[in-house]
Amino acid sequence: MPMTTKTGGALLLFALVALVSIFLRPLLPVDETRYVGVAWEMFQSHDFFVPTKNFEIYTHKPPLLFWSINLVWAIFGVSEFSARLVGPGFALLAIFLTARLARQLWPQEDGIAGRAAWALAGTLAFAVFGGSTMFDAVLTVGVLFGALSLVGFAKTGQKRFWLAFGASLAFGTLAKGPVIFIHLLPAALSLPFWARHIAPEAPAVTVRQLAIGMGIAIASGLVLVLVWLLPAIIHGGEEYRNAILWKQSAGRIAKSFAHSRPIYWYALDLPLLLFPWIWIPQIWRGAWRASWSEPGLRLVLIWVLSAFVLFSLIDGKQFHYLLPELPAVALLVARVVPLPTSKRAWLAILPVALFGVMFILAGLGIVDAQQLTALIDPNRALLATGLGLLAVCGIALNGNILKGGAVLSFGLVLCVGFAVRFTDVYHAYDAREIGQIVADYQDKGIAIYGGTYNAEFNFAARVTRPLEVLHDLEEVKVWQEGHPEGVFISRLERFRLPEKPWKSINFRDRQYGIYRTPKPSAKESLS
């Protein structure tokens, strides 16, 4: 009996989980707080070409995410909630496009679109990062548009699909820079190999056609990017151009500026990155028996393996860099997953159940969670989380492989989210705890003492001018003299002043102090 897995159900459940998650955790520092802060400064300045961070040119990322947040703010008004809808919105579009791509690759396969949608929505990494305010869900949409364009050309031979592919390259470049080429170029260059017999009427793709098509795509994509880049270069200068198009993308291949990790790092992460599907033996058996000569599976294999190898060779690595490959994994799962609804995701339940038992033991005080962090309080929240995870396992047993696997991923996201919301973790990672205290001091001056400032508090405080960064005690003294009644923030474990702070707040599980500059005395004022 075929599965009755529908695309709409996957979209609805993902949307509900993402919406609830917004209320279960704050904007996470330093990435989400930084990106919403950059969008806030763009809203303030109305400069939509060159983003700024703490009101200085921000070269690390292109502006598409910031544009999207500003578009939502223009419609619904400025709020943290509306800004946090952007990431999940792109993730929902990615699920829809994955379903559409599945129909294009296997039009005769009944229910393939719904299975692909559930497989992507139910991948734990996608459920986590697709619901966050980051660039990877946006980039994933660009990669999917590109894959759909390649399949469209393979089926019809029409040059308009190369224009669409160029638009996908431009979209991805505006989302996260030229890294889009790593995700799409291997599939494009190998098109004559995987596109054979993709449809009965499909013409053969020659090397000459491929060369012409790639020329059309790159030229059209470049034109679209230049609509933004030329004004940005004029305003931001050559340094901005080099940083945005080289240092932050291609430059990472030679040497990472952050997140340097060994070549085998992604291989070690696969059990978590591809949870729950990598834990299900039936999917492995289906992949073993699959006909890998068919165009769709060839495309999926090239898409996944090329990105995995290339990103493993690149020095800088982050878990979410491979998010654009998860639709390809979902397509593979949808194609090889056993069809009978009696199949269950038995093995994938075991790590979730173990996780639940650990939470219960911590909640009962048998395992001392305080050794990890004092923020895990109260214990009853951990007990409730553990019981919730075991309940999730029970629900997953009542569904087929895809729905049961999705329940495990969504259940993990929600249960861990509840643990964050109802323990001290939530407040300790909420930039508003400090931002709202210092917000009233903008006219008198706000500064950060020591370290690197990533604009963690700019949106929370709704600042309209830069926070000054002070690097030593002498700078603090000079700043205090020039800002009577101002405030500055210091991470106490690294930069503690002789006097006691006005307020001490736990932020990111570290103690931060807020100091107030004393008001000058009447004698000092007269002098």
Give the strands of the sheet with 510-516, arranged side by side. 468-470, 446-449, 487-491, 510-516, 503-507
φ/ψ region of 406 (left if φ > 0, alpha if ψ in -120 to 50, else beta) reads alpha
Q: What is the H or E stretch that residue 130 is in?
A: none
Residues 290 and 154 in one domain: yes
Query: Does residue 507 sit within a domain?
Result: yes
Strands 446-449 and 487-491: parallel
Positions in the chain whose pLDDT score sits under 50: 1-4, 522-527
Tell me, yes or no, whether 299 lies in a domain: yes
Residue 10 near residue 95, CB atoms below 8 Å: yes
**Domain check: are 516 and 493 in the same one?**
yes
Pull the structure tokens for residue 238: 């050559």
Residue 452 CB partners (closer than 8 Å, separation 6+):
none
SS (H, E, C) 19-67: HHHHHHCCCCCCHHHHHHHHHHHHHHHCCCCCCEECCEECCCCCCHHHH
Domain end, chosen from 336, 366, 396, is at: 336
For the record, the structure tokens of 148 come out as: 């759909």
Same domain, 208 and 97: yes
Q: Which two tokens stand for residue 115?
A: 């299975």
Q: Determine the Cα–Cα distance for residues 73 and 227; give it in Å rounded to an integer.
A: 23
- Flag whether 1 is in a domain: no
132 within domain boundaries: yes
- Residues 40 and 148 occupy one common structural domain: yes
At 1 the pLDDT is 33
> Whole-angstrom Cα distance, residue 386 to residue 364?
10
Helix, strand, coil % over all residues of the chain, rounded to 5: 65, 5, 30
Q: How far apart are CA 11 and CA 114, in angstroms?
A: 10
Which regions of 129-234 does DSSP assign to beta strands (E)? Answer: none
Q: Are residues 451 and 319 in the same domain?
A: no
Q: What is the per-residue DSSP string for 356-417?
A: HHHHHHHHTTSS-GGGT-TT---HHHHHHHHHHHHHHHHHHHTS-HHHHHHHHHHHHHHHHH
Q: Is the dihedral of CA 278, 279, 283, 284 positive or negative?
A: positive
Q: How far apart are CA 123 and CA 322, in angstroms?
A: 13
Same domain, 424 and 441: no
Verify that 436 and 422 share a domain, yes or no: no
Write down the pTM of the prediction. Answer: 0.94
Domains held by the chain: number: 3
Enter the DSSP assignment of 521.
P
* DSSP label of 290: S
For residue 213, give the H/E element and its range.
helix 207-242
50 part of a folded domain: yes
Does 363 share its domain with 509? Answer: no
Identify whether residues 351 and 316 lie together within a single domain. no
241 burial via Cβ count (<10 Å: 0-12, 13-18, 19+): middle
Domain assignment present for 380: yes
Whether residues 297 and 272 share a domain: the answer is: yes
Residue finishing a domain among 404, 428, 452? 428
Q: Are residues 157 and 275 in the same domain?
A: yes
pLDDT at 443: 92
Q: Say whether 157 sits in a helix, a strand or coil.
A: coil
Residues 158 and 38 in one domain: yes
Give residue 379's domain range. Answer: 346-428
Choose one of 317, 336, 355: the last residue of a domain.
336
